[in-house]
Structures are given as C-alpha cells and as structure tokens.
Structure 1
Amino acid sequence: MSRPSIYPIVPYRDLRGALTFLCDAFGFTSHAQIEDSAGVIQHAELALDGGIIMPTSAVDPAAMWLCVRVDDLEAHYDRAVEAGARIVEELHDTPYGSRDYSALDPAGHRWTFTTYDPYAQAAGS
C-alpha cells in the first residue's frame, strides 16, 4: 500500500486550541509537533485513519492550501516555472528537514511542493 503524498494545510488563529479541539472532537492524534525555543508551535501534524493534516498558524486563517510530497523537487519546480506557475515561495530548506517551494494555480489556490514525508519521519524516530 502506498502512503499518501497530499496533506491539507489548515490555518487557525489559535493553533494550540485547534489541536486540542481536533483531537477531542474529531479523534485526531498528534503525529508530530515542533516548537521553537519560545514554545511557539512551528509545525504540527495530526493523524486520523492513515491520513495526515498539517494545522498551522503561519498564514491567513481564511485560506487553506495543500502540501504535496514529490520525489524530485528541483525537476518539479523547473516544470512548474516553465508552465507559467506563479511562484510565491522559492525553493528553500525548512527548519524541519525538508526542501519546499510554493506556487499558485490559476484560481489562486496555494500549493506547496516538498520533499517532506511525515511517514518516513515517524519511522526514523
């Protein structure tokens, strides 16, 4: 069975409160949580029945976007640029060990493409 490669990123104004609510009300479990030295959550993952969502406070709480894991990020980026995708976040390394870039589709939806694999991270822990 292959692992999912698409992870919804869901923004919240109160991320800690949302994590508690989603676990208590909908049965999610914490898959990963990374905090900075000030105790601010920088990255969170919740799991449910083999799927993972990534709640965040890093963006406009009215917008949701998708994170998609790809095998060859640089080739994927080059393809997107050549096809005219509007790049809104250039290729970069993240504090949690992946490499990402973000682009908008014609409707203005944000897509983040990444090398990050939450299932591999858990297996390596």
Structure 2
Amino acid sequence: MAGTDAARPTIVPTLLYADAKAAVRQLTEAFGFRALAVHEGEGGTVTHAELAHGNGVVMLGSKGRGGAFDTAMKDAGPAAAYIVVEDVDGHHARAVEQGAEILMPPTDQDYGARDYMARDLEGNIWSFGTYAPEVTH
C-alpha cells in the first residue's frame, strides 16, 4: 500500500532531457544528487535513471526514445522541483563551483526558510532550501 514504507517516496518528479547523460552529471556533480540507477539504451540514450537527494528521488530519461510518456512530454515545458537541504549556502557554493546557472542566490524568506534557485542545462528550475512541508496523518 502506498505510503506505508517511510523509506520510499510517494511522489517522484519525472523529467525527460535531450541530453540525459549531461543532466545526470550536472544533478550529481553540481546539485549533490546520488545516482541510484542509470540504464542506457541504444546510441547512449538514458532509458531510465533514478537520482536520490535525502529521502527524495527524481526519475529521468532521454527525450525521443518513444513510448507513451515520451509522446506525452513532447511539447511540455520545463518543470520545477524544490529540494530540502540543511546547508543552503554550502549547497549553493557547490552549484556555483560546478558552473550552474543561479537564478536567485541564497535568500531568507518571510516564512522562515532560506533557499536559492538554479536552472539546469535544459531549462528546468531547481530550488534548494530549508523549508520542508510537514505531512500529518
């Protein structure tokens, strides 16, 4: 039953990239994700990848490899995701060091969080900050 295993996220953003290998490299090297799985197909396409950050996971793959999801995402625009991190300034420094495009430097928000915003190589927006929504049952 969904939601019964605390180690498994129940919401997983899923993205497609023209250059999924470069996306995996940037997300791991600049943004601190950990590659759980990277499966490649013919011609070096990424058929499926899972990257973890804390207890969250994002799945991604290469555009143009066919299938229902690829077709549905054909004309979709960039997506955005918020990732909870403890050390916003340290995380930001790593992203800058790796050449990530920063859209907003670390900023203290009125609601008590501190976060920053970056754009990946294909236009998706990634926010990293201290705000963590609380889910009660």
Relative to the length of structure 1, the TM-score reads 0.46
| Larger strand proportion of the pair | 1
Relative to the length of structure 2, the TM-score reads 0.42
The structure with the largest alpha-carbon Rg is 2
